[in-house]
Structure 1
Amino acid sequence: MARGDASRFTRRIFLKRATTALMAGSALLAACSSKQSTPPPSTSSTSTTPVSGATPTKAAAVGAASPTVAPTIPPRQLKQVPRNRTLILRWGGTEGQHQDWNLWNPYNLGANHQNGPGIFYEPLAYYSAFADKMIPWLATSWQYTPDYKQLTIKLRSGIKWSDGQPFTAEDVAFTFNTLRDLGPKVRWGVDVQQFVDEAKALDDTTVQINFKIPAPRFFYFVTYKYDIGVYIVPKHIFQGQDWSTFTAFDLDKDWPVTTGPWKVVYSSPQQKVIDRRDSWWAVDQGLVKAMPQVERIIYLPFTSEEQVAQQLISNDVDCSLDLRPLTIETVLQQNPKIITHTYKDPPYGYEDWWPTSLYVNCEREPYNDKDVRWALSYFIDRKQLIEVALGGAGEPAVLPMPTYPGLLPYFDAVKDLLQQYPTNEFNPQKGAQLLQSKGWQKNKDGFWEKNGKVLEVPMESFTVMADIGPVIAEQLRRQGVQSSYNMPPDFDTRFNQGDYNAALYGHGGSIGVDPYFTLRLYQSKTEAVPGAHQVNFSRWHNDEFDKIVDEMAVTPPEQKDKIMDQWKRAMQIWLPELPDIPIQKWFHRIPMNTTYWQGWPTRDNPYVNGAFWHLTFQLILNELKPTQ
């Protein structure tokens, strides 16, 4: 199809041809989800907040009246907490239920730190990419030897686990040594195993880590930022346990054990309830001015976007998973108390570290052919995609890395390569020529075919791709590719295991300093990493690329000329190969309700990124103040 024809594929045409089907599917999903969904707690600022049970409630359309359902008190008698001291979040879950409700060990293969455990395992340090600031936490200082083969970490004294046992260097050493031994069996094991020879507790507050090879980024890696960071666990609880199956959950024992200010008081498939403890070492030692003013956190599973939007409008929810542009526009219009990182202004959020790509499984035919991957890229009109699917509130991504200030020099360094290999170019003629050169021909139905097999791109993903997925599928079909978009409930599991053909997903790699952590996403050794972060989702293998990334791994970040040379050499391999197909920058359009809480991170006060599911959530909790 010529570019002139493609330009007439407007929002109106797409809504007539594709969105009707998508909305029908969404309505079906909402109906299915509502059978298992949780009604919101009471919203009166003067009333107490009973914890709702599994009583179903009908999913409401955006703008409709909020249904009233009598909540059910859980079996455990919980103390009463006012609504204006309760933070209600909509996040996670599958088909309206938390599948990991009893998994509070983030190393458990079915667990996810994003769903609550992240605030129970405090880090050695935080890093705020927005503030470009390292914040010491359990650690007070860290020092490498000149050859970067040894790291000494000094810890704070006087910290205790919630069961009264002291937090010491033994806990830190035990964590790293166990991860070294477990390797690919648990999250972060591969990363630790690559570098750590042995971690030793020299005394109660001093840890010495000896490395197999220079590890100049190791401490940065273990700090909490976005979804990356090593969870330090209590040795006296985790020793002798199988980390891949241990749940660390027993309310009668006050598990999970933590050094933080939180306590799990109830957890079920319908909700997770976390209450504030009475004291916290961080306040006692002056690191934090006061205890968090949030007294209770309730995690409710994310259901349908329409239902969550209605709950935000009616003030039943304080914050949720980021919403699609057209939904967030509606929410902002109907509830003046809702803001985003950019308040009421497009793009209704900030650029996240998670640029989106169309992944095709490079271990499977025909996606193992780089010319097929490039043809698919040429068939996608990203400008049209952003206009139609996002209402113009977005930007294309040229590389699988965010355009953060510390990374911009690396974008500039490969401008010439990007002209030679234009990852954002819409050029159906080029795409057709590449396929024809590999023996593909259009069949009588207008689809590309080779050796009796039609070129298919059956895309899968989850809720957040529901806007762009159908549009990309329509664009590919218009170019002769049999394509579809679906959101199966087991998508995450299969995608992480490499059991997929095509998927829409993001990249959790570099956020500053240098591009090492993005390049690592494409190394062969990260293919077996569990946990959905720092994983080679594309299943692409290139020995020379692997060697360059290993070379960068031992190069100190301050040797910028050397790193720049490694980056260019890596891109000379990556760009012609195009292991996955860049689509768009990911904007976190997170609705933040100021009816009950203020102090959310915004463009005027960007102390940290605003995703409460990231490992820096505690930094937000420290800043939230009750509005009422």
Structure 2
Amino acid sequence: MGGRSRSPWRGLWWGLGLGVALVCLLVSSCSPERFQALRFKADVTAVPQIVDSVLSDPKTFNYALSQESPNVFGLIYEGLIGSNGLTGELEPALAETWSISPDQKTITFTLRPDLRWSDGEPLTVEDVVFTYNEIYFNEAIPTDTRDILRVGDDRLLPTVTAVGDRQIQVQVPSPFAPLLRNMGLPILPRHSLADSVRELDADGQPRFLSLWGTDTEPQTVVCNGAYTLADYKTSQRVVFQANPYYWRKDAQGQPLPYIDRFVWKVVESRDTQLLKFRSGDLDIAEPMRPEDFSLLKREEERGNFTVYVGGPRPGTVFLAFNLNQASRGGKPLVDPIKSAWFNTLAFRQAVAYGLDRQGIIDTVYRGLGAPINSPISVQSPYGLSPEEGLPVYSYDPDRARSLLLSAGFQYNDAGELLDSQGNRVRFTLITNAENSIRVNMGSRIQQDLAKLGMQVDFTPIAFNVLVDKLDDSLDWETHLLGFTGGVEPNSGSNIWQPDGGLHTFNQGKPDLEGWQVSDWEQEIGQLYIQAAQELDETQRKVLYGQTQIIAQEQLPFVQLVNELGMSAVRNPIQPIQYSDLSGALWNLYELTLNP
């Protein structure tokens, strides 16, 4: 969540690439017990490709409606600007240049000449204006993208207008520091989508809301990125084909990317992903699990691949409490007895002190992890450190018990934790079953909290079921998930704004009765607004520092541990420039297959 841009369900948007190569990647079949190296050989009848994997099927081919990560959109779309995968610095993309007015309220972009969509139609300033004004700014379209574009206390949206054949102006009512970086949002095709935005279905909703679902013929989805959707087989694979009209070329004028095809195999188990990589059926293992590091490191030479290890992955992993005290149809979303526990600060603090994060690093992460103390990624210049005053919760079960007792909880003769009314403290923890790291982490959390007398019913469930609970039914007690992250905190503002689409710990909905927002929630939301309007970088850091302090004091999320970024990639795929921000394939557009 957060993101990329990244929410746990939204990916990064910077572009990848197009082109034709003359060698073919062929996989030699073998069992893990009889490992064979991946073999490459020329075969003019085959298509050069890289084969990767994902844990679950894509949920939509409609970017505006996407809430999951990974998703297809970083491969098939680009925005006006991009971001360097190594440094995070902004770079030209569909716009070749831009200029910012002296009052910092207007950005003028100039599109590259002769841009085209994947169907050959011209990509023009009208597509940009349509994308922002009729999709992202359209209140009839429920897109989380809109949240990160709102400016000031009035939550006004920018004005996007065409001012020439290739020029677009983006204006805001007051200075808005994240504005330029937000212009990396994908540009969508007006000629394909305009009618569906304006026409209503039988329920009075824009027909756009049912367009480009995963039941769509993939070839009909019009793209502007390095790749297009070529094929999709549910629970099997997604095939991306090089976009013949992609704008990027190499220094010699040759179209990019060099690799014709990129394949995602849907492999719903990390264990199976490992087996398929070792047998040569996959060309990359990313993200690589800590428990696989030693095995794959030993097999580097035989397997003709390299293991890359970086720092902590961007983003967060956390335990969240459902603090929502509202009802729906007269029925409380959360059992009032449990809601009283979750909304007691001392209870949340006790849980934080009761979790052995170093134990999680040592066991679940095999030492290849790092503790998280802030909701802002460590790669961000706005992150606050403990040395700068960020509250932290080191493992201290005695302090946890003391906090519980001071809040009126008590222990019976069996060491079970009871509340002041004698109710046994027992609640459900959910996570996505497809992620073995989180499943193992959830088991550790269950064990740690059992030492405090709490009974945690740990229940891994399918990701799509989990998303429905968080976003629709709101039927959950605690969950273990993560938000993707980056360098700009405002990309995660919809997590912290009380009306934000990813304000999952206290999600507001129109049909709820008695929804309440706490003072500290309002304060964090207001600080995000102020920080986005502040142009002085030192003061922005101060404001975001305050948000982190409040979040750590109030603990809607108990920040846990993030794994070190690791990937294993076949050596013929070059040049790999591993990045803590973006992983191994951020420069896919310039990768080649060298036998």
Fold match, TM over 0.5? yes
Q: What does residue 217 of structure 1 align with? A: 178
Distance 2:85 2:263 in 1: 27
Residue 561 (structure 2) aligns with: 584
Tell me, what secondary structure is at the counterpart of 2:487? coil
Q: Which residue does 2:495 correspond to in 1? A: 521
Following the alignment from structure 1 to structure 2, what is the Cα–Cα distance between the partners of residues 261 and 518?
26
Q: 1:232 to 1:129 in 2, by over 3 A?
A: same
Residues in 2 aligned to 1:47 and 1:551: alpha-carbon distance in whole angstroms = 51
Matching residue of 1:87: 50
Question: Among 439, 443, 451, which residue is 2:412 paired with?
Answer: 443
Partner of 1:546: 525
1:476 corresponds to? 449
In structure 2, distance between residues paired with 1:589 and 1:117: 22
Distance 1:254 1:518 in 2: 32
Q: Output the aligned Cα RMSD.
A: 3.2
CA drift of 1:138 comes to: 0.2
Give the alignment's TM-score, normalised by structure 2: 0.78
Question: 1:104 maps to what in 2?
Answer: 61
Find the counterpart in structure 2 of residue 274 from structure 1. 240
Give the structure 2 partner of residue 465 of structure 1: 438
| Runs of 5+ unmatched residues, structure 2 | 1-22, 37-42, 197-206, 325-333, 507-516
- Report Cα offsets for 1:353-385 as digits up to 9, x if no partner: 112111122225121222111000110111122
Q: Does the 8 Å CA contact 1:174/1:235 hold for their aligned counterparts?
A: yes
Q: Deviations over 1:298-338 (max 9, x none)?
A: 21112222211111111110124413211233233235323
1:517 is displaced (CA, Å) by 4.4
Q: How does 1:213-362 map to 2 (within 5 A)?
A: 213-223=174-184, 230-241=185-196, 242-247=207-212, 254-269=219-234, 270-278=236-244, 280-283=246-249, 290-336=255-301, 337-342=304-309, 349-362=310-323
2:3 is aligned to: none
Q: What's 1:189 paired with?
A: 146
- CA contact 1:263–1:274 (8 Å) conserved in 2: yes
Q: Is the 8 A contact 1:142 1:154 kept in 2?
A: yes
Please, which of 60, 70, 78 is the counterpart of residue 122 of structure 1?
78
Tell me the distance in 2 between the aligned counterparts of 1:183 and 1:174: 15
Q: 1:353 to 1:184 in 2, by over 3 A?
A: farther
TM-score by length of 1: 0.75
2:127 pairs, out of 155, 160, 171, with: 171
Equivalent residue letter for 1:624 = L
Contact 1:457/1:483 (8 A) holds in 2? yes
User: What code does the residue aligned with 2:257 have?
Assistant: P
Give, in whole Å, the separation in 1 of the partners of 2:456 and 2:287. Answer: 26
Change (3 A) 1:587 1:486: farther
Q: Which has the higher contact order (CA 8 A, sep 6+)?
A: 2
Count residues with an aligned counterpart. 516
Structure 1 residues 372-381 or 273-282, which shifts more? 273-282
Does the CA-based 8 Å contact 2:397-2:452 persist in structure 1?
Answer: yes
Structure 2 residue 97 is the aligned partner of structure 1 residue 141: yes
- 1:507 corresponds to which residue? 483
What is the distance in 2 between the residues matched to 1:471 and 1:398?
19
Given candidates 368, 390, 396, the residue that maps to 1:427 is 396
The 1:624/1:197 distance shift into structure 2, 3 A limit, reads closer
After TM superposition, list the pairs within 5 Å mapping 1:484-495 onto structure 2: 484-489=457-462, 490-495=465-470
After the TM superposition, which residues 73-84 of structure 1 pair with which residues of structure 2 at under 5 Å, given as runs? 82=46
Match for 1:173: what amino acid? Answer: V
Give the C-alpha shift of residue 252 in structure 1: 7.4
Structure 2 Cα separation of the partners of residues 204 and 177 of structure 1: 18
Give, in angstroms, the shift of residue 431 of structure 1: 1.0
SS of the residue 2:259 aligns to: coil
Contact preservation (8 Å) 2:25, 2:593: no
- Aligned residues of 1:598 and 1:625 also touching (Cα < 8 A): yes
Task: Report % sequence identity.
Answer: 19
Specify whether residues 510 and 280 from structure 1 end up closer, same or farther in structure 2 by C-alpha distance, changes over 3 A only.
Answer: closer
Name structure 1 gaps, 5 residues minimum: 1-44, 51-56, 67-78, 224-229, 343-348, 530-534
> SS at the partner of 1:385?
helix
Larger strand share, 1 or 2? 2
1:357 alignment partner, SS class: strand
Give the Cα–Cα distance (whole angstroms) in 1 for the partners of residues 96 and 109 of structure 2: 8
In structure 1, what is the Cα distance between the partners aligned to 2:388 and 2:242?
A: 54
